[in-house]
Amino acid sequence: MRKRFDSAISSCIELEQWDVVRNRLQNDTERKRSYKIYKSKMSALHLACQHNPPADIIKMLLDANPMAASARSHPFGELPLHFATGQNMASEEVIQLIAEANKSAISAQTTQGISPLHQACTFNAPLGVLKILVNKNPEAVFIKDCHDRTPFDVAKVMYFIFYPQTWKILYLLSGGRTKQIKGQPFIFPQD
């Protein structure tokens, strides 16, 4: 006999009914909902990270199932941190919780080579989010995706360069180094 699919928690997460999710998780004494695998091999933590969840929900999910922070989805192999830094960006507190639960997640890459830092740059993450990721793993600024781009390369295209905040972001992502072209240090043109 086929197992009954419990979609109640996933539906509540997708509808961002956080009070209902909170109550269901508190009443789930056997922690079945936290361990359940939903569509595309995603845990409840993966699903929640796609919808800018409150930090207490993430804490409850991580407390119930700490291994969910290192579980990969299908088919691209995203971790919950990839989703938290994606299109519907999670709060700094949520990103901090997930990064602490799985310290190697910051340098983890999808099948396309995208790290959570690449993802954050693609979706114009605020400086605070980028600082969390870079401070937890400074080497993440040098990770290249399948197109041979570092997070710095992605940020140069995605961030509007006339905002002073953008220069701080680009400097942070550059690792304090100057970009080299064909083995030569970059030099600004003379007037």
108-144 residue pLDDT tens: 999 999 999 999 999 989 989 999 999 999 889 889 9
Which domain range does residue 151 map to? 8-185
Q: Which pLDDT score, from 0 to 100, does residue 77 have?
A: 94
Whether 3 maps to a domain, the answer reads no
Instruction: Decide if pLDDT at 98 tops 90.
Output: yes
pTM: predicted TM-score of the whole model, two decimal places = 0.82
How are the residues of the chain apportioned to helix, strand and coil, as percentages rounded to the nearest 5? 55, 5, 40
Residue 63 confidence class, pLDDT cut points 50, 70, 90: very high
Whether 2 maps to a domain, the answer reads no
What average pLDDT score do residues 162-185 get? 62
Whether 84 maps to a domain, the answer reads yes
Whether 26 maps to a domain, the answer reads yes
| 143, 116 contact by CB (below 8 A) | no
Instruction: Decide if pLDDT at 104 tops 60.
Output: yes
Whether 191 maps to a domain, the answer reads no
Whether 59 maps to a domain, the answer reads yes
Residue in 25, 158, 148 with CA at minimum distance from that of residue 89: 158
User: What CATH code is carried by the domain that includes residue 13?
Assistant: 1.25.40.20
Cα–Cα distance measured from residue 137 to residue 144, given in angstroms and rounded to the nearest whole number: 15
pLDDT digits (tens, 9 = 90+) for 20-44: 999 988 888 777 777 777 778 889 9
Whether 1 maps to a domain, the answer reads no
Q: Which pLDDT score, from 0 to 100, does residue 176 have?
A: 61
Residue 167 phi/psi, 5° resolution?
A: -65, -35
What average pLDDT score do residues 156-182 get? 67
Length of the chain: 191
Residue 10 confidence class, pLDDT cut points 50, 70, 90: confident
Angle of helix 92-101 relative to helix 127-136, nearest 10 degrees? 10
Provide the domain count of the chain: 1
